Amino acid sequence: MTQADIYDVTIIGGGPAGLFSTFYSGLREMKTKIVEASPQLGGKLNVYTEKIIWDIGALPPSPAGKVIEHLVEQAKVFNPTILTNTKIISIDRGTQDLFILTAENGDKHFTKAIMLATGYGILNPRKLAIEGAEKYEVSNLSYTIQGLEKMRDKIVVISGGGDSAIDWANLLEPIAKQVHLIYRQGELKGHESEVTRLNNNSVMLHLDSEIIELTANEDGDKITKVIIKQKDTLVEQTILVDEVVINHGFESEHELFENSSVGLEKIETHYVAANSYGETQVKGIYAAGDIVSYDGKVHLIAGAFHDAVNAVNQIKMYIEPSAFNRARVSSHNDKFSDKNQELVKIFFA
Ligand SMILES: Cc1cc2nc3c(=O)[nH]c(=O)nc-3n(C[C@H](O)[C@H](O)[C@H](O)COP(=O)(O)OP(=O)(O)OC[C@H]3O[C@@H](n4cnc5c(N)ncnc54)[C@H](O)[C@@H]3O)c2cc1C
């Protein structure tokens, strides 16, 4: 390990909390690294890239994919080190007050402070419990929709009955040839307004039903029919399909907390105990975003930004005790003088 390998802050998680923390940490002149387990930055927003986010102050209603683009641009302003495909599996103490983060590939990362921005952990979609279903993931079985246009004039079967499945059904209804929504319960579990919308449009709702079989084309590489079964009547129905979308929720991995030796306290399965300044019970480790839960916490993107500012300011004071306890407002900040042209391009493009 050389001095160059040591960062002031290493941010684990590349969602809104991690990306905004990266920007803010640069603003406070800390040497910053952000590490993300998945191949792309953006966190949970990657689950709903096509959906419109309305509730980020001052931003016009924007698809989540666009919000990711803005967050990433902003995070890059102070040239941080950005690593994707880097899953951190443990945090341990090293010498000289350093922490050592170990990645799944064995790489070690050395840092003075840590920002946990891991959301609800690494999310993996709950898979369709039908043998062999995984081979269609490269053709017409998906767990998130990346591009509504792919569904134009297609027959789409969506399995699930929560907010996400209902939203997709409503979004696809005017685009697809026909949308079928299959749900194993007798009542949908979504926002009332979206359920009402669904009940009044052409989506074909199959309640108390589930997919029991997939039939493929002659080459065996694409689903052409799904067979569903109604659980009370046991009646089976065959539906011709072009695309199958499964929305059965997510399972989250928490290996990081299970393996780490630093003594982070869990208050639920996925939250780390931290106060509203992002301080965990381990000095030098801070947290922001969905991972934290304190009185008044807002589990939304706006809440993640608020947490990031507080936690980064705490980190600055941890690393440099004489530092001011908050950044000056960015609009008066000299650091931006040579960045202004770049920023103008980003935000007013
Ligand atoms: C369907 C849906 C719609 C939503 N709509 C809105 C909305 O309209 N408005 C709004 O404000 N909010 C909305 N939200 C909530 C919003 O997405 C979250 O509040 C926000 O993403 C939280 O950001 P985060 O950075 O804390 O966590 P996340 O976005 O979950 O990011 C955490 C990141 O950490 C990574 N990570 C976890 N563990 C590790 C590890 N060990 N090593 C490396 N990386 C790791 C994960 O892979 C992930 O990328 C919605 C959420 C969902 C699911």
Q: How far away, in angstroms, is 1 Cα from ligand 1 center?
A: 32
What does the pLDDT read at residue 344? 60
Residues 90 and 146 in one domain: no
* Centroid of ligand 1 to alpha carbon of 17 (angstroms): 8
> Mind listing the pLDDT tens digit for each residue in 298-338?
999 999 999 999 999 999 999 999 999 888 788 877 667 66
Q: Which of 218, 248, 278 is the last residue of a domain?
A: 248
In angstroms, rounded to a whole number, what is the distance separating the alpha carbons of residues 246 and 214? 13
Residue 25 has pLDDT above 80, yes or no: yes
- Does any ligand 1 atom lie closer than 6 A to the CB of residue 160? no
Contact 117, 32 (CB under 8 A): no
According to the model, what pLDDT value does residue 269 have?
Answer: 66
Residues 22, 117, single domain; the answer is yes
Which ligand 1 atom minimizes the distance to the CA of 38?
47
Using CA positions, which residue lies closest to atom 48 of ligand 1?
A: 43
Residue 270 has pLDDT above 80, yes or no: no
Give first-to-last CA distance, the chain, whole Å: 42
Residue range 146-167: average pLDDT? 94
Residue after which a domain boundary falls, among 248, 281, 310: 248
- Sign of the CA dihedral running 279, 26, 296, 116: negative
97 and 112 both lie in a single domain: yes
- Residue ending a domain, among 199, 219, 248, is 248
Give pLDDT, residue 229.
97
Atom of ligand 1 nearest to the CA of 53: 8
Residue 238 pLDDT greater than 70, yes or no? yes
Instruction: Indicate the average pLDDT of the chain.
Output: 93
30 and 170 inside one domain? no
- In tens, the pLDDT along 86-132 reads 999 999 999 889 999 999 999 999 999 999 999 999 999 999 999 99
Planar angle of CA 99, 90, 122, nearest 5 degrees: 125
- Mean pLDDT across the stretch 57-70? 96
**What distance in angstroms lies between residue 99's CA and the mean position of ligand 1's atoms?**
25
Q: Are residues 337 and 193 in the same domain?
A: no
Q: What pLDDT score was predicted for residue 345?
A: 61
Q: Which residues are annotated as a binding site for FAD?
A: 36, 44, 48, 88, 123, 290, 331
Whether the CB-CB separation of 139 and 339 falls below 8 Å is answered with no
Q: Is 60 exposed, middle or buried (CB count within 10 Å of its CB: 0-12, 13-18, 19+)? A: exposed
Q: Say if residue 347's pLDDT is above 60.
A: no
d(CA 84, CA 16): 15
Residues 231 and 271 in one domain: no
60 & 111 share domain: yes
- 117 close to ligand 1 (CB < 6 Angstrom): yes
Query: Which pLDDT does position 268 carry in this prediction?
Result: 75
Average pLDDT over residues 68-78: 97
Domain check: are 118 and 255 in the same one?
yes
What gap in Å lies between CA 55 and CA 58, rounded to an integer?
Answer: 9
What pLDDT, on a 0 to 100 scale, did the predictor assign at position 303?
98
Residue bearing the bigger pLDDT, 159 or 271: 159
Chain-centroid distance, C-alpha 32: 21
Which residue has better confidence, 272 or 115? Answer: 115
Q: pLDDT-based confidence at 226, cuts 50/70/90?
A: very high
Residue 212 above 60 pLDDT?
A: yes
Whether residues 119 and 131 share a domain: the answer is no
Whether residue 289 has pLDDT greater than 80: yes
Provide the domain count of the chain: 2
Confidence class of residue 148 from pLDDT cuts 50, 70 and 90? confident
Please indicate, yes or no, whether residues 228 and 89 belong to a single structural domain of this protein.
no
pLDDT at 159 over 90: yes
Ligand 1 pocket test: which of 118, 163, 247 has the largest number of ligand atoms within 8 Å of its C-beta? 118
- Give the distance (Å) from ligand 1 centre to CA of residue 43: 5
Q: What is the rounded CA–CA span in Å between residue 330 and residue 308?
A: 15
The closest residue, in CA terms, to atom 7 on ligand 1 is 53
State in Å: Cα 158 to ligand 1 middle.
23
Domain CATH for 259 = 3.50.50.60
Judge if 170 and 242 occupy the same domain. yes
Q: Angle at Cα 56 formed by Cα 54 and Cα 60, nearest 5°?
A: 60
Same domain, 141 and 62: no
Does the C-beta of 16 come closer than 6 Å to ligand 1?
yes
CA-wise closest residue to 118 among 289, 262, 321? 289
> Could you list the residue range(s) of the whole structural domain that residue 154 is in?
127-248
The identity of residue 218, as a single letter, is E
